[in-house]
Amino acid sequence: MRSLPPAPGRPPGMERREMLSVWNRLRPEEDGQGTVEYVLVILAATAIALVLINWISGTNLFDGFFGGVLKKVIGFIK
């Protein structure tokens, strides 16, 4: 098998394993990135829920809807 000429910008004699080793040492760490993304999603969902609860509690929708559901459940149990 013949050897390929070095790629442009690649030092001659540097093997693929060595290039990957250098790349792995130079690339930024991503440890914990998934955890941060989950926390941001949870915070966004909490903010939306708080806005909805605040809006619903200002209307009669909360008492009317959940009161009706509760009355039906109690009537079904009796």
Instruction: Please report, for the chain, the start and end positions of each structural domain, with discontinuous segments joined by +.
Output: 32-77
Q: Is the pLDDT of residue 1 over 60?
A: no
Return the sign of the alpha-carbon dihedral for residues 59, 61, 66, 67: positive
C-beta neighbour count of 45 within 10 angstroms: 10
- Closest to 20 measured CA to CA, from 8, 30, 10, 32: 10
State the average pLDDT over residues 40-61: 86
Give the end-to-end CA distance of the chain in Å, rounded to a whole number.
86
State the average pLDDT over residues 6-34: 71
State the average pLDDT over residues 28-57: 85
Give the model's confidence band at 44: pLDDT under 50 very low, under 70 low, under 90 confident, else very high.
very high
Claim: this prediction has a pTM higher than 0.75 = no
State the average pLDDT over residues 52-69: 76
